[in-house]
Amino acid sequence: MTLLSVSGLHVGFGRDPKAGEVVRGVSFDLAAGQTLAIVGESGSGKSVTALSLNRLVDFGGGTITEGSIRLTRADGDVLEVTQADEAAMTRVRGAEIGMIFQEPMTSLNPVLTVGAQMEEAFRLHRGLAGAAARAAAKDALDRVRIPDVARRLGDYPHQLSGGMLQRVMIASVLACNPRLLIADEPTTALDVTVQAQIMALLGELKQETGMAMIFITHDIGLVAGIADRVMVMQDGRAVEQGALAEVLDHPQHDYTRHLLHAVPHFANGRAARQDGPRAGGAAAAPVLTVQDLVVRFPVKRRMFARAKGEIHAVERVSFDLVPGETLGIVGESGSGKSTAARAILGLVRSRGTLALPGADTRAGASQRPVQMVFQNPYASLNPRLTVESLLAEPVIATGHGIDDAVRARMAQLLARVDLPTNCLGRYPHEFSGGQRQRLCIARALMLNPSVVVLDEAVSALDVSVQARVLELLVDLQREFGLAYLFISHDMAVVERIAHRIAVVHAGQIVEIGDAAAVLSAPRHSYTRRLISAVPNIDRRHVRFTLDTSTVGSLLRPPGYEPPMADWVQVGPDHRARAEDTA
Amino acid sequence: MIRAIFHHPSGRIGGGIVLVYLVLAGLGALGLTPHDPLMQYRLDRLHPPGAAYWLGTDLFGRDIASRLMVGIGQSFFVAFLSVAAAASVGTVLGLTAAWVGRLWDGVVMRSMDVLLAFPAILLALLIVAIMGPGTWTSVLAIAFVYMPIFTRVVRGPALSLKTREFVDAARTFGSSTRYILTRHLLLNIVAPLTVQVTLALAWALLTEAGLSFLGLGTQPPAPSLGLMLSDSRNLMETAPWLMIAPGVTIMIGILGFNLLGDALRDILDPKTRGGRA
Amino acid sequence: MVKQRGLNPLSGVAVAALVGCLGLAGTANAAALHMAWSQDATGLDPQKQTAFSSIRLLELIYEPLVRLDDKLAVVPAVAKSWDFAPDGLSLTFHLDPKAAFSDGTLVTSADVKASFVRLLDEKTGAAARSNYLSIASIETPDAQTVTFKLSQPDVPILAAMAGVNAAILPASAIADGSVGTKALGSGPFELKSWDPNAKEVLVANPNWAGGKVGVDEIDISVLPDETAILAALRAGQIDMALLNDPLVATLVPGVAGLKLDRTPSISYNVLQLNPSRGAMQDVKVRQAMSCAIDRKAVLDTAALGEGQVTGPITVPAYATDPSTLFCYKPDLAMAKKLMAEAGFANGFSATVIAATGEPATAAAEAQVLQSQLAQIGIKLDIKMMELNVYVDAWLKGDFDMAVALNGGRPDPYTMYNRYWTKTGNLQKVANYVDDTLDTDMNSARVETDPAKRKAIFADFEKHITEVSPWIWLFTPYTYVAERSNVAGFVPTPTGTLFGLSAVTLK
Amino acid sequence: MNLLTRRLATFPLVLIGVSSLVFFAIRLVPGDAITAMLGTEAGLLTDAQRAALQAYFGLDKPWIVQYGHWFWGLLRGDMGISVTYGKPVLTVILQRFPLTLELALLSMVIALLIGVPAGVFAATRNERAADLAVRIGAMIGQSTPSFVFGLLIIYVLSAGFGVLPVMGTFTPIWQDPLANLGQLILPAITLGAAFAASVTRIARSAMLDVLGEDYVRTARSRGAPARTVIWRHALPNALIPVVTLSGIEFGYLLGGAVIVEQIFALPGLGRMVLDAILQRDYALVQGAVLFVAFNFMIVNLLVDLAYFWLDPRIRAGGQ
């Protein structure tokens, strides 16, 4: 039975929606109980298509200009969604079509308790009130395996982690047993292990309730685990659709093939780089040595009171970096990996030894041998400065004027990162995300550094852009002999660029060594858990197991010094922290 | 930018009004008024609006329309200058308070609290005592009254900009504090600042009227909208046009600035600029 | 839907408010007179207060030995008769035996003596002391008789004693220092309560020697905005009000049920020049200014014609017809000629100061004067000042010109000796020394014959308008607006409200 | 509570700042209590008389000594005696304060009752005719000087209907609530009109921001009707800027609304301060400004507590 039938859908924005079309002719059918994955990059129109299905697109300034969306309702009537009035849509939303969104942190109302928002769903569609609604909310949260439900109902959204919130979102959507669930990038903002949990939950619930699902994602790797059918979108059009296996194994369209092959997919160390400078055994002198780096943030209770404790954000991190080498630092959010990077740049107060031996032995060495590229190219470029001012800033900071030599270097670097050299007068918003990140890279290279710290440098980019930026980084590394400290949560990306990998957990390195070795034969239990959570196109319809363990608090009493760690030498360049096996 | 304003529905109206006012003030400044704004036509005192005097004459037989044209210039001069002074000093204080933090932040913000809690009239009297009455006194008094508001308006966004990645990036380059404050913080506060400025201009016009009550504002016979309005109060029944003309002029002027401010907020705000999230 | 939610409760509140207002307006108590004025008294010590707003309240509570009637003639108050010794060196008063303070104690010569001793004591700080400096000693032969021995003949002292600054205070109150905190006088009314800048309540003094007053109580509200006073009269909330601004007062006759008493006052609007400064040191320049100024036009424009063009002397008994004075008929040709003779054919620039709202017409006068003087090339820069700041500059003589409203006195000597005698306290404000003026003033002090005094003052007036240190403009009206239920009020040129003692309500 | 103590700790600092500033400012302005009382007649005083009056008004000592004396009194809770009222400063202030407080509260209630619904209404009809109408209405309210509005009300009522609220005195609410309301409602409407206009503008723009938030979309996706979305989900989040604005405006109103008090002849704090300044009643000016500053800070504190109550994130620790 066809639940939803979309044909020739066109959606536009602005005062003249015909001119501002974002979706230009999408058609698909969805049977009851089926899962359709819509895959595409940002701007492909996948989210707008989804928002059109329950007409939420109206509130974002969009208008359906053409086409039809026919929804078969629970009572068998067929509703033409494009023509329905707001009152009818209000009855459809929630009751028949549920929806969950990308950012769980912002998708729940910050001033209402979790319980109040859960109960609302029951009140609206099941007519429950008071204690009955509360009990129903409790049941629903139990269903998504939230521990300690009674307390959680009284909590506000900011008191819960992202993963928890996404479970709350799912629970509140499932409250009304919708026949269709639209999940718009539900795991993109989450850590990889949490993503695995949410995916598992969705799969399980789908099985239980028999509802249909539209799963929207940019990550084709994620699709493999959950979808029955796949639709690939590009520039507002569906370029390919078909059964899961068909699309993944025999892609017809170039774009699908590009997504499947050009984009980094995790390969358990098989795709790791083999050109590391240590490969021959005769490593050059390190360009950066970090010894026992410690970052602690005091936690104060009152203004004049003594610190009640310290957050041990980074705890005795040590590593070194030789020219031409990439050290990948992987870990989940809150693991302290970014804090460590910021400490190396002097942005946060730290203890420990930072040595830059050999940095000034190179010709034309810079006064600032370590430079950084930040995660979000939208946030790390001042939107009100021109490209020229942006590139000039590091030079000005050293007290130099902008002379012809500097301008020549700007032109050279812009050309090198594949940006037009005549763009000096333009502003960041005129560039795409990938171009902006190239700009950031060019800026970091202005002072001819020996080490570049790349903090989640490609995470905010679309998958196909990611691949090209990674290639550029590798090229630049070879050309300038740069050492990279590459920080990322994305195992697939790290695999492509790192020679060596350090796995960080709770502020400490738990495993470090040659990339291929660490990824193919992880020793530490955390590394293993991390790797097993990475989605993979080859793992179809996998059932993830639910795990509700969380990272413990990093708050320690003042003056606390953790015991020295024991290390296990696993391979020639592969060490892991010893664990209690008990 | 100009095109963007005139594409915005409220920007079109607001921009239009401000443009018309600028033209009127320009004509007034060049002396291109229907009559001499200071000329007292003794026989035509309190003449109702008509063909000879479009908006009537005042107690002295001076042409209201001509006085309004010059008054727009005078009032807007005071408003612009005082708001500019308040905005620049307030911005410097707000920026440095946010950046330096700690003791300086406390000193600046508490001083602003002191100023906010201080009666504006006493402040104006004090400034008059030091400088003597006149245009510059009103400018200074109004500037003092609005400075704390600008300090607050700047400090808030500056605190959040301080933690943005591009500021971190600047610090990794070792950029000077002055460079960071001006290029990274200030440049990005321009949008809320512009909005606040357009709103403050409206208040300044009214405050100038209030100061005229105490003889602290524009000195006669120079016309200012506020002075014309406050001079008209006891003639409200005898010659209502005396109140209506400057009243409506102030009202439409403020309307223009507010609409323009709304439009600028929409245009300068990156969240609404793209149209779609 | 959204809109209604907000507006319904609000319109309810508005209706309730209107009902409330209706119910509360005009709840007048039959024997109480409801009054309003815009400026309140600043203190209760009759000897120290000089502000008109204080005096008019205190005159209802306290009595001097004598007072002035509506023709400015000296009539009995606490004293029922008086006589000057032939040599003019002593002045004897016989007190009214019925005169009593509101607590019932009789007024005796001891009270009179104590009052004047206090007034003359420099520690009291009474500004009016300067009018009584010729008192050498005070004798009290009996309880009803007081004799003032004078150090020199001083005719004007009698009229000077008619002011409330020379009020008779109970000797007991002087002794215990309660003057100024508790008002205890022998006037027609007694102060029941005073909430400064808000409201005062007066009740009839049962012990007043003048007999029974027409109302039991007077409630005076301070309504700072004169437009609001007019509104309160219209709504019947008050029966009577004092108004200052001619722009508001002239509206009163147009309102049904209201009448307006306008009385020419003896105070005067004047453009004070500073003859010690710049071009104004030259008498021809000052004369030119006097000729260039059209006094009638100033009056017509700034005060809607409400007032009378006046010479220096405003008391009708001594005044000269203004039209005979120097250049009171504007003569621009003459003015220009004088300017040229003085070497200022192209005029000069000067600053004129004026106080905001004091008088209400000050800013308007300044602007008309500015436009008139521009005709002979004098460029005036107007500086409006808050009253106290203005007074400060005025007292220091720190101005080129000043627009002023100066108070009048029933006797021209008392009025002007402070400015135009060489030893006058305000000589520094006038900044002008002239032998003729000094001689005229001093002979007016000792001369007892009214006819001769009149001649002396005529000479004074002619001379001072010719040398023109100041340019006298006009006397304003004082206004009392009444509802038609108020009867019997007699206004006087000094602006006193003593006439309230005869007011009845219909 | 952390916040509360930190705020309270800054109170004395600000109060010392305000008190010093006002103490010296008022003395720097030309004219003193003597010229205020005597006007130009002050020129008739002899030196001995002037000295006597200066001693009477407490102006005979050097400023710094006067300041020390006043400050020492302040520490013991004594603000001195007002020379115009002849009463302790605090007594005079507390006599005037109930009116000012009530007027401020009433104006704020009016402003919020009109402003919030109007702002919400306009936001839901963004850039359409109804929105423009509300905004123009708001701007007219914002740009009409209160004396114009107040005088018009008085004129229309007295000339058109022959009624007027009782002026000059003030009936406290505990004596006669109806009479009290009758007196205050018109001034409150006059003040509330401009206040409502600002609230409307702020509420509209905050609602526009909030309506674009993810959680509003979530509520809609759940099938919540427009009414629920606007009043339950969006409005509480849009209230923070409204509270900020209301706090500032309310703080100003607690300092007294001079012009409206003048027109409606209400014996409130604003007129008292103005009169005290014009009469150079130094002790009263100093005491009143200190009192107003204190209120201002209390209101700021209440605003912070309101944030605390409105936003659980702030409640959790103010990050």
**Residues of chain A whose C-beta is under 8 A from some C-beta in B?**
13-14, 20, 22, 60-62, 342, 345-347, 367-368, 370-372, 374-376, 379-385, 389, 393-394, 396-398, 429, 440, 443, 447
Provide the domain count of chain C: 3
Q: Find the closest chain D residue to B201 by CA distance.
A: D143
Contact B250 D201 (CB under 8 A): no
Among residues C157, C176, C195, the one where a domain terminates is C176
In the block, residue with structure tokens 């005025």? C394
Burial class (CB in 10 A: 0-12, 13-18, 19+), A303: exposed
What single-letter DSSP state applies at residue C232? H
Compute how many other C-beta atoms are within 10 angstroms of the C-beta atom of residue A520: 14
pLDDT reported for residue C140: 94
Separation of alpha carbons C489 and C263, rounded Å: 12
SS3 A87: helix
Contact D267 C5 (CB under 8 A): no
pLDDT reported for residue A55: 92
- The answer to whether residue C7 sits within a structural domain is no
Q: CB–CB of C84/C161 below 8 Å?
A: no
Query: pLDDT: is D220 or A571 the higher one?
Result: D220
Pairing of strands A62-72, A451-455: unpaired
pLDDT reported for residue C385: 87
What are chain A's partners, defined as 3 or more CB pairs within 8 angstroms? B, D
Domain spans, chain D: 2-75, 92-318
User: What crossing angle do the helices spanning D269-278 and D89-124 adopt, rounded to 10°?
Assistant: 130
What single-letter DSSP state applies at residue B121? H
In the block, residue with structure tokens 């504090």? B177
Query: Is the whole-model pTM more than 0.90?
Result: no
What single-letter DSSP state applies at residue D119? H
Enumerate the β-bridge partners of residue C91.
C84, C148
Contact B237 C251 (CB under 8 A): yes
Separation of alpha carbons C68 and C410, rounded Å: 8
Tokens of C261: 């008493």
- The answer to whether residue B249 sits within a structural domain is yes
Contact A393 B183 (CB under 8 A): yes
Contact D289 B230 (CB under 8 A): no
pLDDT reported for residue A31: 92
Residues of chain B in contact with residue C389, where contact means CB-CB under 8 angstroms, are 125, 128-129
On whether both C73 and C124 belong to a single domain, the answer is: yes
Which element (helix H / strand E) includes C243? strand C240-243
pLDDT reported for residue C482: 94
Q: Which of C48, C197, C226, C396 to mutate to probe the D interface, most D CBs <10 Å?
A: C197
- The answer to whether residue B277 sits within a structural domain is no
Average pLDDT of chain D? 86
- State mean pLDDT over A404-429: 87
Residues of chain B in contact with residue C355, where contact means CB-CB under 8 angstroms, are 215
On whether both C446 and C494 belong to a single domain, the answer is: no
Q: What is the CATH number of the domain that holds C399?
A: 3.10.105.10
Contact D219 A120 (CB under 8 A): yes
Residues of chain B in contact with residue D26, where contact means CB-CB under 8 angstroms, are 122
Q: What ipTM score was computed for the predicted complex, to two decimals?
A: 0.81
pLDDT reported for residue A429: 80
Find the domain containing B57 and state its range: 2-272
**Residues of chain B whose C-beta is under 8 A from some C-beta in A?**
164-166, 168-176, 179, 183-184, 187-188, 190, 270, 275-277
Separation of alpha carbons C435 and C460, rounded Å: 11
- State mean pLDDT over A526-545: 74
Which element (helix H / strand E) includes A215? strand A212-217
pLDDT reported for residue A301: 53
Residue of B60, B129, B133 with shortest CB distance to C301: B60
- State mean pLDDT over D17-37: 88
| DSSP code string of B40-82 | --GGGTTPPSSSSSTT-B-TT--BHHHHHHHHHHHHHHHHHHH
* CB of A64 less than 8 A from some CB of D: no
Q: Name the pLDDT band for A35 (thresholds 50, 70, 90).
A: very high
Residue of C245, C382, C389 with shortest CB distance to B219: C382
Q: CB–CB of C315/C412 below 8 Å?
A: yes
Contact D158 C232 (CB under 8 A): yes
Contact A385 B183 (CB under 8 A): yes
Q: CB–CB of A65/A107 below 8 Å?
A: no
Q: What is the CATH number of the domain that holds B82?
A: 1.10.3720.10
The pLDDT > 90 percentage for chain D reads 25
Pairing of strands C66-68, C199-204: unpaired
Enumerate the β-bridge partners of residue C194.
C200
* CB of B128 less than 8 A from some CB of C: yes
Residue of B175, B190, B270 with shortest CB distance to A393: B175
Separation of alpha carbons A410 and A448, rounded Å: 12
**A46-60, B92-106, C135-149, D300-314: which has the minimum mean pLDDT?**
D300-314
- The answer to whether residue C134 sits within a structural domain is yes
On whether both C207 and C165 belong to a single domain, the answer is: no
Separation of alpha carbons A448 and A455, rounded Å: 19
CA distance to partner chain C, nearest, from residue D160 (Å): 10
Residue C252 has pLDDT above 80, yes or no: yes
Separation of alpha carbons A477 and A432, rounded Å: 23
Contact B38 C363 (CB under 8 A): no
Residue C23 has pLDDT above 50, yes or no: no
Residues of chain B in contact with residue C245, where contact means CB-CB under 8 angstroms, are 234
- State mean pLDDT over A353-376: 69
On whether both C376 and C491 belong to a single domain, the answer is: no
On whether both C211 and C272 belong to a single domain, the answer is: no
One-letter amino acid of A288: L
Write out pLDDT tens, residues C318-337.
998 999 999 999 999 999 99
Contact B202 D142 (CB under 8 A): yes
Q: Name the pLDDT band for D156 (thresholds 50, 70, 90).
A: confident
Separation of alpha carbons C461 and B266, rounded Å: 72
- The answer to whether residue C182 sits within a structural domain is no
The pLDDT > 90 percentage for chain A reads 23
Contact D143 B250 (CB under 8 A): yes
Most confident of A249-263, A281-295, A448-462, C191-205: C191-205
- State mean pLDDT over A33-49: 89
Contact A393 B171 (CB under 8 A): no
CA distance to partner chain A, nearest, from residue B127 (Å): 38
Residue A549 has pLDDT above 90, yes or no: no
* CB of B129 less than 8 A from some CB of C: yes
Nearest to A268 by CA among A537, A578, A572, A565: A537
Residue of C128, C198, C225 with shortest CB distance to D267: C198
What are chain C's partners, defined as 3 or more CB pairs within 8 angstroms? B, D
Residues of chain A in contact with residue B188, where contact means CB-CB under 8 angstroms, are 382-384
pLDDT reported for residue A540: 61
Q: What is the CATH number of the domain that holds C167?
A: 3.90.76.10
Q: CA gyration radius for chain A?
A: 26
C-alpha dist (Å) from residue C158 to C73, C92, C148, C150, C410: 11, 10, 11, 12, 10
Q: Which of C44, C255, C385, C391 to mutate to probe the D interface, most D CBs <10 Å?
A: C391
Contact A13 B276 (CB under 8 A): yes
Residue of D120, D167, D182 with shortest CB distance to C237: D167
Provide the domain count of chain B: 1
Among residues C141, C176, C211, the one where a domain terminates is C176
pLDDT reported for residue C277: 92
Q: Name the pLDDT band for D66 (thresholds 50, 70, 90).
A: very high
Contact B276 A375 (CB under 8 A): no
Residues of chain C in contact with residue D85, where contact means CB-CB under 8 angstroms, are 196
Q: CB–CB of B19/B266 below 8 Å?
A: no
Residue A539 has pLDDT above 70, yes or no: no
pLDDT reported for residue A374: 87
- The answer to whether residue B234 sits within a structural domain is yes
On whether both C308 and C373 belong to a single domain, the answer is: yes
Contact B173 A397 (CB under 8 A): yes
Q: Name the pLDDT band for A196 (thresholds 50, 70, 90).
A: confident
What CATH number matches the domain at D92-318, 3.40.50.970, 1.20.1250.20, 1.25.40.10, 1.10.3720.10? 1.10.3720.10
pLDDT reported for residue A542: 58
Find the domain containing C36 and state its range: 12-59+187-257+484-505
Interface of A with D in 84-113 (CB under 8 A): 86, 90-95, 97-99, 101, 103, 106-113
Residue C9 has pLDDT above 60, yes or no: no
Residues of chain D in contact with residue C227, where contact means CB-CB under 8 angstroms, are 151, 154-155, 263
Residues contacting residue C231 through CB under 8 Å, at least 6 positions apart? D154, D155, D157, D158, D159, D164
Pairing of strands A288-299, A370-373: unpaired
Tokens of C426: 């305000």
**Residues of chain B whose C-beta is under 8 A from some C-beta in D?**
9-10, 106, 110-111, 113-114, 116-119, 121-123, 125-126, 128-130, 202, 205-206, 209-210, 213, 229-230, 233, 236-237, 243, 247, 250-251, 253-255, 258-259, 262, 265, 271, 277
What φ, ψ does residue A297 adopt, rounded to 5°? Answer: -110, 120
Separation of alpha carbons A438 and A417, rounded Å: 6
Q: Which residues of A235-249 are buried (b: 16+ CB within 10 A; e: fewer)?
A: ebebbbbbebeebbe
On whether both C172 and C215 belong to a single domain, the answer is: no
Q: Name the pLDDT band for A553 (thresholds 50, 70, 90).
A: low
Residues contacting residue A581 through CB under 8 Å, at least 6 positions apart? none
- State mean pLDDT over C41-48: 90
Q: Which of D222, D228, D230, D237 to mutate to probe the A interface, most A CBs <10 Å?
A: D222
Nearest to D94 by CA among D262, D224, D287: D287
